Amino acid sequence: MSAATDEYIKLIRHPLKFRLFLLYKLPAAFFSGVRVRDISENKCITSVPFKWLTQNPFRSTYFASLAMAAELSTGVLALAQIHKRKPPVSMLVVKLEANYFKKATGRTRFTCEDGLRFREIIEETIHSGESRSLVAKSTGINEEGEKVAEFFITWSFKARRT
């Protein structure tokens, strides 16, 4: 793990600094209660609660709130890999697919284990100078351990030449 990746992961693990990051950069996630529960170079676990701000009319968590937590579980792994990179690397969600299996009526935890794949694709884009894409998988599990949803988020990366 690079020193920059390790530094970014430490920032994400700091409760106050991360909440300030959410408030400043992702206010919808902040107010919805989306949180990072655990992070390493390869894996990130986020959660979203079922509450008034995240509910839909059917007494379950709104799909967009689930998508926010799923995207965050993939996005912070990518951000950790591009933190302080030379040359800088830009990233963008270009596609999102989801499968829903069960109503989300409590806290849902999303797990993405694609951190090493992010590192590889970012290295490729830096060395080739070409844009690269990666489909990251995030699986949502409820408090009973049942699969609620599965998200496939396609990230595009491009090294910026300075």
Predicted structure pTM score:
0.93
CA distances from 67 to 3, 18, 48 (A): 30, 19, 10
What pLDDT score does 99 carry? 98
Is the predicted pLDDT of residue 162 greater than 70, yes or no? no
Q: How confident is the model at residue 125 (pLDDT cuts 50, 70, 90)?
A: very high
The mean per-residue pLDDT over the stretch 150-158 comes to: 98
d(CA 76, CA 67): 14
Q: How confident is the model at residue 4 (pLDDT cuts 50, 70, 90)?
A: confident
Chain segment 43-96, per-residue pLDDT in tens:
999 999 999 999 999 999 999 999 999 999 999 999 999 998 889 999 999 999
In 3D space, the residue among 154, 151, 130, 133 whose CA is nearest the CA of residue 68 turns out to be 151
Q: Which fold has domain 3-159?
A: Thiol Ester Dehydrase; Chain A (3.10.129)
Q: How confident is the model at residue 161 (pLDDT cuts 50, 70, 90)?
A: confident
Domain boundaries, the chain: 3-159
d(CA 143, CA 106): 7
Residue 157 has a CB neighbour count (10 Å cut-off) of 23
